[in-house]
Structure 1
Amino acid sequence: MNTKDELRALRAADRRKQNWITIAIIGLGALLVTGVLIIPSLKKVEVKSNPRPMADFDSMGDMNAKVQVEEFSDFQCPYCKQFATEMEATYVEQYVETGKVHWKFITYSFIGEESVKAAEAAYCAADQGKFWEYHDLLFANQNGENQGTFNQKLFLQMAKDLSLDVTTFQACIDKSTYAQKVTDNMNYGQSRGVNGTPYFLVNDKLVDSGNLKAAIEEALKAE
């Protein structure tokens, strides 16, 4: 091979090397982007909260309403998310806004430690008048059970998204301010026969979501 041939071969090899470097960089970039997208704790979900008339901490509606509904729910429960995002608004419109029902949300955190921590975070948000908004964000960010989704980083990010006093919120989390309340909720639910979620007490009658409307109507008609 003469000198010109050698130069051409070297240049061709160099071009191939550069091409492989370019491909590698593109591939690495794609992996990094994909990695960011699939990390649950970094997921940001835009949520428009439904109106909750006469909201007070973890309840809504007229406290003296004829029908009292207690909802037992776990923030990691997919059926609870389905109820919250697809059905709750209808009940609020038909029964809570009209003054017929007082509705209270009770955490029943049986799926795992992430459920417990999410419940505590929701009550810390309630201290600043944002329980229901935080409730909506938790369900919107649900990503399977015990997958590491509900962690301190996500809790703080959601607090920021809701313009909470983050220092106060963090202190509430760090002190486990609502740990006992979350435990008490579990004990209360178990004492009333709750063994899963979502379940509802309608004037002391325990029903699942499929029988909720009928139970409310029956309670409204009762003397």
Structure 2
Amino acid sequence: MPKSHPPAPTASPTASPTRKLAAIGAIVALVVAVLAVAVAVGKAVEGGRDGGGAGAPRAAASGPPQEDPAQQKMFDDLARRTSRREGGDPLAVGKKDAPVVLVEYADYQCSFCGRFTRETQPELIKKYVDAGTLRIEFRNFTIYGADSERAARASWAAGQQGRFWQLHDELYATTRKGDALAEDKLVDMARASGVPDLGKFRTDMKSAAAERALKRDQDEGYGLGVQSTPSFLINGRPVSGAQPTEVFAQAVRDAAARAAKKEAAGK
């Protein structure tokens, strides 16, 4: 999502007052939509940078909540912007055309991110990814400095050899901070995760391509107003923190129901 707003189109000297008002109205509508998305995501990640506290908002426990058409369109547009659905994406799991996409913004030093990976993600994969309903796309959103960035580069580098999820799970197997994410320790974890070419792994970690990949994820998160980890978008609707598994399961079911309804309506 863009961080700045496009300039107003320049009206010609002969433009009528009606046309000028229409142009101004279109820009005001765009600004309102951008701010509404930022506020929605920002509110969903309030409560601290390591956003797994009890005060984080939860998804609805029943069926999909009733939303006005403008709000539904806002979240649908957000989903289209953030759900990359790139074929062969090593940082994604699930069908490219799955009706529901969960986008996760996370940091490898975040203990609540680890909780989600250990406790919730396996259940979501078993129930919804394997069934073709859900796709999970991971974003490296580093907020704890150089050690987090090194770990993020390592996970990306493992992905270049088809072992992203193996190293991802190893990094989150326990809470790791500081020296536990030194380069040699990351190489040891890559070896344990089955990364075949460790020389290439070291090179890829330090490459400009890794830097660009991290910047892309960070720019996307900051542009949305993400403030803490873990933060999630489920078909564009924000959920924050390591909520109980059922909260995510319900959000996935709600999103799948909305997607089915839209398809039935021919939209």
Q: TM-score, normalised by structure 1?
A: 0.70
Report deviation, 1:149.
1.4
- Asked if the contact 2:234–2:252 (Cα under 8 Å) also holds between the matched residues in 1, the reply is yes
Distance (whole Å) between structure 2 residues aligned to residue 185 and residue 115 of structure 1: 14
Matches for 1:49-88 after TM superposition, within 5 Å: 56-88=89-121
Distance (whole Å) between structure 1 residues aligned to residue 213 and residue 206 of structure 2: 15
Matches for 1:73-152 after TM superposition, within 5 Å: 73-144=106-177, 147-152=178-183
Q: How many residues align?
A: 168
Q: 1:174 aligns with which of 182, 186, 206?
A: 206
Change (3 A) 1:128 1:191: same
3-state secondary structure, aligned to 2:172: helix
Q: Identify which range, 74-83 or 188-197, moves more after superposition.
A: 188-197
The runs of 5 or more residues in structure 1 that have no matched partner are: 1-53
Distance (whole Å) between structure 2 residues aligned to residue 217 and residue 202 of structure 1: 10
Report deviation, 1:221.
1.1
Change (3 A) 1:84 1:136: same
Report deviation, 1:142.
3.0
- Asked if the contact 2:90–2:159 (Cα under 8 Å) also holds between the matched residues in 1, the reply is yes
Q: 2:253 aligns with which of 200, 212, 217?
A: 217
Q: Identify which range, 79-88 or 160-169, moves more after superposition.
A: 160-169
The runs of 5 or more residues in structure 2 that have no matched partner are: 1-86, 262-267
- Asked if the contact 1:200–1:212 (Cα under 8 Å) also holds between the matched residues in 2, the reply is no
Q: Greater relative contact order (Cα 8 A, min sep 6): structure 1 or 2?
A: 2
Q: TM-score, normalised by structure 2?
A: 0.59
3-state secondary structure, aligned to 2:143: coil
| Percentage identity across paired residues of the two chains | 26
Distance (whole Å) between structure 1 residues aligned to residue 237 and residue 256 of structure 2: 13
Q: Who is 1:27 aligned against?
A: none
